[in-house]
């Protein structure tokens, strides 16, 4: 009974009311506005500390890769090339704001003030999260992609319910944005006007899958419209644009204006992790192209041009970076594994009888191992 409709379309009714339909089309092009310039209000002091953080981050990242090659870390997810996106975004947060990073965001976590050695416990395998989330208000780096976006949204909802003027910022990737949780987080954030900022680092790859195969849209920022929240797309390798845009979003969120989705276009220069072989899915030329857009070099160039830094300052930063790298080596090399029995101690607030018994069994096993 449905087929006849599809076929013969002869003898269309002449009556207008029976020959007319109407609808609205969604025009994606219409949604993404032009590139507009905005002022940045950072003092030279601030510009320097922004550079300093990025430079230290770059050194920390390289050292983490080396330590992995040398076996001090099991694996590491480099952020080389994404320093501007991570450091610039974190730089716009206030002390009482929260950060919800992913495994990729070790540098953003570092920029937040978390000790790099504690951060890397995740990759050395000494503990899942060694730092205290409440000390710098940074959640453990999430491994299941996008799940942390909902945690950030929930924390922001809570802050709003309590009239607490803080915001939560969460990072996730262009691949992670394909997960259902990304949509649920942005939609709920919109419904409750939660003070949360979603910063998508679009580094063009989800492991081996390029952005164009991750989604058919030209910009993840367009998803903001679908949830009725502000969306921004920017050059994620331009630290000033990242900082300024996130600052706008942070201020809006803090003043009750709700969430913002920011897509920071960047590029992952290193392999997905030290365990990944990127030669299987992209050419050296492509990576070389990406390197040319190095956010650190770029920022340094402008700083020099503007006379905001001199060689003395850069030398200072270098020295600090080297000292940091040395401390990483010293602390992470042959770092002893913790007491295995600790694996029972944090499952519940209080050890259950079952776990107490199992802890005792492990204790016996360990005793037997030393003196069989």
Partner 1 sequence: MEVTMAGALNTALRDAMRADDTVVVYGEDVGRLGGVFRITDGLQAELGVDRCFDTPVAESGIVGTAIGMAMYGLRPVVEMQFDGFSYPALNQIISHVGKYRNRSRGRVGLPLVIRIPYGGGIGAVEHHSESPEAYYAHTAGLTVVSPGTPADAYALLRASIEHEDPVIFLEPKRRYWLKADLELPVTAPPIGKAVVRRTGTTATVIAYGPMVTTALEAATRAEESGWDLEVVDVRTLSPLDIDTLVTSASKTGRALVVHEAARFAGYGAEIAADVSERAFGYLAAPVLRVTGWDIPYPPAKIERHFLPDADRILDAVARLLEY
Ligand X SMILES: Cc1ncc(C[n+]2csc(CCOP(=O)(O)OP(=O)(O)O)c2C)c(N)n1
Instruction: From 125, 95, 91, select the one nearest 108 (Cα to Cα).
Output: 91
Q: Is 281 a catalytic residue?
A: yes
Among 50, 64, 85, 206, binds ligand X (CB under 6 A): 206
Decide if residue 269 touches ligand X (CB under 6 A): no
Bridge pairing between strands 205-206 and 209-210:
antiparallel
Measured CA to CA in angstroms, residue 89 lies from 50, 54, 208, 237 at distances of 11, 12, 26, 11
User: Shortest Cβ distance from residue 266 to Mg ion (Å)?
Assistant: 9
Span interacting with Mg ion, options 86-94, 172-180, 244-252, 358-366, rule CB under 5 A: 172-180
* Matching residue, tokens 């969604």: 26
What is the x/- site pattern for its own copies, positions 197-236, by CB under 8 A? ----------------xxxxxxxxxxxxxxxxxxxxxxx-
Decide if residue 45 touches its own copies (CB under 8 A): yes
DSSP state of 103: T
Q: Is 59 a catalytic residue?
A: no
Q: Is 291 a catalytic residue?
A: no
Among 78, 82, 109, 203, binds Mg ion (CB under 5 A): 203
Distance CA(182)–CA(148), nearest Å, equals 9
Cβ contacts of residue 324 below 8 Å, gap of 6+? Answer: 56, 59, 60, 63, 116
Residue 126 or 203: the one with the smaller Cβ distance to partner 1 is 126
User: Shortest Cβ distance from residue 94 to its own copies (Å)?
Assistant: 4
User: Shortest Cβ distance from residue 182 to partner 1 (Å)?
Assistant: 10
Decide if residue 174 touches ligand X (CB under 6 A): yes
Decide if residue 23 touches its own copies (CB under 8 A): yes
User: Shortest Cβ distance from residue 63 to ligand X (Å)?
Assistant: 20
Angle at 324 (CA atoms; ends 298, 45), nearest 5 degrees? 50
* Residue 64 buriedness (CB in 10 A; 0-12 / 13-18 / 19+): buried
User: Shortest Cβ distance from residue 127 to its own copies (Å)?
Assistant: 24
Among 66, 147, 178, 208, binds its own copies (CB under 8 A): 178
Indicate which of Mg ion, its own copies, partner 1, none lies near residue 3 (CB less than 5 to 8 Å, by partner kind): its own copies
**CA-CA-CA-CA dihedral for 129, 134, 136, 140, to nearest 10:** 30
Decide if residue 203 touches ligand X (CB under 6 A): yes
Measured CA to CA in angstroms, residue 355 lies from 337, 339, 349, 352 at distances of 21, 16, 12, 5
Cβ contacts of residue 340 below 8 Å, gap of 6+? Answer: 362, 366
Indicate which of Mg ion, its own copies, partner 1, none lies near residue 128 (CB less than 5 to 8 Å, by partner kind): partner 1
3-class secondary structure per residue, 118-174: HHCHHHHCCCCCCCCHHHHCECCCECCCCHHHHHHHHHHHHHHHCCCCCCEEEEEEC
Residue 173 or 236: the one with the smaller Cβ distance to Mg ion is 173
Stretch 280-339 residues interacting with ligand X (CB under 6 A)? none
Catalytic residue among 254, 281, 298, 327: 281
Stretch 52-71 residues interacting with its own copies (CB under 8 A)? 53
User: Shortest Cβ distance from residue 121 to Mg ion (Å)?
Assistant: 24
Distance CA(257)–CA(235), nearest Å, equals 24
Name the residues that contact ligand X, by CB under 6 A: 104, 143-145, 172-176, 203, 205-207, 268, 272
Residues serving a catalytic function are 268, 272, 281
């Amino acid at each position: 009974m449905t087929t006849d409709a599809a076929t013969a379309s002869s003898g269309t009714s002449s009556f207008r009311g029976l020959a007319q339909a109407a609808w609205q089309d969604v025009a994606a092009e219409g949604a993404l506005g032009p590139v507009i310039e905005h002022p940045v209000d950072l003092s030279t002091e601030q510009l320097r500390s922004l550079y300093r953080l990025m430079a230290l981050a770059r050194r920390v990242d390289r050292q983490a890769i080396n330590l992995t090659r040398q076996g001090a870390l099991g694996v590491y997810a480099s952020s080389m090339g994404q320093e501007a996106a991570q450091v610039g975004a974190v730089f716009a947060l206030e002390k009482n704001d929260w950060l919800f990073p992913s495994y990729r965001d070790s540098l953003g976590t570092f920029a937040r003030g978390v000790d790099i050695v504690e951060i890397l416990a995740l990759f050395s395998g000494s503990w899942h999260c060694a730092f205290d989330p409440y000390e710098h208000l940074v959640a453990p780096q999430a491994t299941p992609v996008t799940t942390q976006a909902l945690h950030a949204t929930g924390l922001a909802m809570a802050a709003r319910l309590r009239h607490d003027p803080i915001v939560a910022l969460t990072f996730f990737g262009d691949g992670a944005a394909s997960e259902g949780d990304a949509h649920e987080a942005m939609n709920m954030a919109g419904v409750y006007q939660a003070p949360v900022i979603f910063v998508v680092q679009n580094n063009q790859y989800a492991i081996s899958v390029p952005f164009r195969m991750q989604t058919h849209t030209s910009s993840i920022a367009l998803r903001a419209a679908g949830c009725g929240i502000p969306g921004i797309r920017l050059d994620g390798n331009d630290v000033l644009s990242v900082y300024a845009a996130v600052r706008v979003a942070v201020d809006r969120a803090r003043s009750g204006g709700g969430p913002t989705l920011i897509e920071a276009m960047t590029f992952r220069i290193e392999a997905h992790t030290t365990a990944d072989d990127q030669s299987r899915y992209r050419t050296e030329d492509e990576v070389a192209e990406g390197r040319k857009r190095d956010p650190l070099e770029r920022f340094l160039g402008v700083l020099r041009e503007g006379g905001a830094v001199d060689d003395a300052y850069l030398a200072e930063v270098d020295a600090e970076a080297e000292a940091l790298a040395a401390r990483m080596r010293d602390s992470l090399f042959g770092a002893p594994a913790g007491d295995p029995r600790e694996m029972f101690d944090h499952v519940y607030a209080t050890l259950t009888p079952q776990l107490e018994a199992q802890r005792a069994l492990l204790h016996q096993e360990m005793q037997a191992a030393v003196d069989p």
